[in-house]
Chains A and B, each alone.
Chain A
């Protein structure tokens, strides 16, 4: 396309929006509302997933050994475990270390009491492996496997935490797909209506254009530009709004609810927006394009 043609087409697209103010505004407003909801949701999901990840990294499977097992076998078991793909990280805790950790937690401020047991460790049989997983959902698999390994006395894990987290992740996935689908339909419907009105207003002009020898492409382009612009404006506005709201919110929470910010770590603004911005813009532009393209096919016969 020639540059002058591009400029002309772009101007006509803007003109379409302008002439058709009320419909265009309604489309942009709805689009904005949808993208705003999407962005809000996205930010919540991102933060939640961050929390899940933090919790996940604390979820561990603990493997205890049979009595009187040799150091060699313990090392072999370690090898077996480290070869499993589910395992993100693991750590060997000897009986002495276990006792020390126990002491640190339960005899805080009275460490000398712990020393009294030095030669007769009450946790003599408590040397173990602590295993951290890539993904909680794989936990039950691994536990079943480990229980079958020779020399393993007991495998401890927190099934409840793992299950709840996995279920919640899945739920969030479904809900977000649902919301995006609804959003798509509403926005496409509105943009389609706007473009339909634009076409009916310009019917005569389109007929003249065709008689003069305008290509289908030339007739179509201003309406495509119209749709894309509506999508672009409709996604840029809520993004700006969300950006300010989010950055304000995390400062506010950190300031006023210190107890909360200790528990929950909000993702920094840029972390959320570096993916949200392109996703929302592509979504907006895509919806705009699709809405007008489908309508043109239906009403313009070009």
Chain B
């Protein structure tokens, strides 16, 4: 599903943010990426979204080399990859319903289908009652649920999450991680960047540890993800 072959990324001359990273993630896996601040985790996410181009190496997603994707094809590629961030990135001037529907409007989904699909997503993330609220009226955990619903509304095969619990208290963090696990159970490949080692330990998943742009360990801790 996701393969990196000797990928390096240097923003400027000097120490590369990613240095010769090779890894493979299978379809349906749940993977944590951990590491110190500045170790290159966000850079990895950006490369997977084709927001950045690697300086060296090759990235293959869904059997397609990202280097071969032309500028014009980027939107279509991104529709297969959902993404959530630490700061939620919701549209502040639109309510919950519109924030989720937005992701479908962007790809020209017929209104009929939007009306069917958004409520399904809302109940999946447990926010069916709050569809008319605006982001500022929601707690951090709730906002992140909206962001997750938006990332998944178009049924991507992969979900990337860059510190999705970074702004949340422990209780909310656990709820969000459980939600991501559920999503993974339904077949979506999930990659979560996090600093919350307590949760990482408890969830017993595959954990990739990074340091200064290099993968220093890649352990499979759980039983369900064993290959």
**Closest Cβ of chain A: how far from B96's Cβ, in Å?**
15
In the assembly, what is the distance between CA of A2 and CA of B106, in Å? 11
**Can you spell out 10 A-B residue pairs with CB atoms less than 8 angstroms apart?**
A8-B105, A207-B89, A210-B78, A211-B78, A212-B79, A212-B107, A213-B79, A214-B75, A214-B107, A218-B108
In the assembly, what is the distance between CA of A211 and CA of B91, in Å? 13
Chain B residues in 8 Å Cβ range of A208: 89, 91
Let me know if B91 and A212 touch, CB within 8 A.
no
Let me know if B78 and A212 touch, CB within 8 A.
yes
**Which of A1, A208, A213 lies at the interface centre, i.e. has the most chain B CB atoms within 10 A of its CB?**
A213
In the assembly, what is the distance between CA of A18 and CA of B100, in Å? 23
Chain A residues in 8 Å Cβ range of B102: 212
Contact with A214, one of B51, B77, B106 (Cβ below 8 angstroms):
B106
Chain B residues in 8 Å Cβ range of A205: 91
Chain B residues in 8 Å Cβ range of A212: 78-79, 102-103, 106-107, 150, 154
Interface footprint category on A: 10 to 19
Let me know if A204 and B89 touch, CB within 8 A.
yes
Contact with A211, one of B83, B107, B110, B111 (Cβ below 8 angstroms):
B83
Question: Does A141 lie at the interface of the complex (its beta carbon under 8 Å from any beta carbon of B)?
Answer: no
Within 8 A of A (CB), among B192-221: none
Within 8 A of A (CB), among B30-66: 49, 51
In the assembly, what is the distance between CA of A214 and CA of B51, in Å? 14
Residues of A whose CB lies within 8 Å of any CB of B are 1-2, 4-5, 8, 204-205, 207-216, 218
**Which of B72, B89, B107, B108 lies at the interface centre, i.e. has the most chain A CB atoms within 10 A of its CB?**
B108
Let me know if A5 and B108 touch, CB within 8 A.
yes
Question: Does B186 lie at the interface of the complex (its beta carbon under 8 Å from any beta carbon of A)?
Answer: no
Chain A residues in 8 Å Cβ range of B103: 212
**Closest Cβ of chain A: how far from B159's Cβ, in Å?**
13
In the assembly, what is the distance between CA of A211 and CA of B51, in Å? 8
**Which of B72, B77, B111 lies at the interface centre, i.e. has the most chain A CB atoms within 10 A of its CB?**
B111
Question: Does B76 lie at the interface of the complex (its beta carbon under 8 Å from any beta carbon of A)?
Answer: yes
Let me know if A5 and B105 touch, CB within 8 A.
yes
In the assembly, what is the distance between CA of A260 and CA of B39, in Å? 86
Chain B residues in 8 Å Cβ range of A218: 106, 108
In the assembly, what is the distance between CA of A5 and CA of B106, in Å? 8
In the assembly, what is the distance between CA of A213 and CA of B51, in Å? 11
Chain B residues in 8 Å Cβ range of A210: 75, 78
**Closest Cβ of chain B: how far from A84's Cβ, in Å?**
61
Query: Smallest CB-CB separation from A12: which chain B residue?
Result: B105
Within 8 A of A (CB), among B168-203: none
In the assembly, what is the distance between CA of A8 and CA of B78, in Å? 21
In the assembly, what is the distance between CA of A176 and CA of B212, in Å? 67
Let me know if B106 and A209 touch, CB within 8 A.
yes
Chain B residues in 8 Å Cβ range of A207: 89
Chain A residues in 8 Å Cβ range of B51: 211
In the assembly, what is the distance between CA of A4 and CA of B72, in Å? 23
Given contacts A209-B106, A212-B154, 16 further A-B contacts (CB under 8 A): A4-B111, A210-B78, A211-B49, A212-B79, A212-B106, A212-B107, A213-B78, A213-B79, A213-B106, A213-B107, A214-B106, A214-B107, A216-B72, A216-B75, A218-B106, A218-B108
Chain B residues in 8 Å Cβ range of A213: 75-79, 106-107, 154
- If A211-B83, A212-B103 touch, whether A4 touches B91 (CB-CB below 8 Å) is no
- If A5-B105, A209-B106 touch, whether A215 touches B111 (CB-CB below 8 Å) is no
Chain B residues in 8 Å Cβ range of A5: 105, 108
Chain A residues in 8 Å Cβ range of B76: 213
Chain A residues in 8 Å Cβ range of B75: 210, 213-216
Chain A residues in 8 Å Cβ range of B77: 213
**Closest Cβ of chain A: how far from B77's Cβ, in Å?**
8
**Closest Cβ of chain B: how far from A7's Cβ, in Å?**
8
In the assembly, what is the distance between CA of A210 and CA of B77, in Å? 11
In the assembly, what is the distance between CA of A215 and CA of B106, in Å? 8
In the assembly, what is the distance between CA of A13 and CA of B72, in Å? 23
- If A204-B89, A213-B75 touch, whether A2 touches B108 (CB-CB below 8 Å) is yes
**Closest Cβ of chain A: how far from B64's Cβ, in Å?**
15
Query: Smallest CB-CB separation from B114: which chain A residue?
Result: A4
Top 4 closest pairs, chain A to chain B, by CB? A213-B78, A213-B79, A214-B106, A4-B111
